[in-house]
Chains A and B, each alone.
Chain A
């Protein structure tokens, strides 16, 4: 199993543009979570999806949106990009959403906003 895969690995955008990041979970995993990691900080929770439904949303503006597809892959969309959106975006998958479920992470997408 390739584990959680994310694409693209790197992306450069300018302010005001929009971006779509993609994530494929581990086979059999039904839950996908998205995190933003700014340099020098721990990951910040953005969204969690389970069985194609949003199960949780972090403290991010409405410019951030996501969805999960029938095959459990997921997309994170960010509109009207700001310089502060520059970060590593991590996707994690887990079998379920339970309290004790460990999450498995991808390598992330490095987004740079110019």
Chain B
């Protein structure tokens, strides 16, 4: 079955520390993976996508097909990174399958 798993509901790190938000997926084909972010009192928005291989706001994510993972990383956390982060997979029908989300809290 197609599934996206974000094992951590809550992740709390200190400002300046590295951040890694985990995402594992189960999908038989070649998925397209996304990270979406929702800051406090804002709407859900795209952070980055696998195909772009870009760094947005210092975040990167690498697709590891062997481990079926798409972890989101940032070397030095900033307070403004505090938000809800969702990993999502787009299947062959172009439908998004979402993880349950990880709430990231950056402590000063």
Contact = CB atoms under 8 A, between A and B. Distances in A.
B71 interface: no
Decide if the interface of chain A is mainly helix, strand, loop or mixed: loop
Contacts of B45: 104-105
Contacts of A55: 93-94
Given A42-B99, A100-B49, A48 B94 contact: yes
Given A90-B44, A102-B46, A105-B45, A56 B98 contact: no
Interface in B52-108: 86, 88, 90, 93-101
**Which secondary structure dominates chain B's binding surface?**
strand
Contacts of A98: 94
A35 B95 CA distance: 10
Interface string A94-107: 00011111111111
A43 B49 contact: no
Nearest to A50: B94
Interface of B: 4, 6, 32, 34, 43-46, 49, 51, 86, 88, 90, 93-101
Interface of A: 3-4, 33, 35, 40-45, 48, 55-56, 58, 90, 97-108
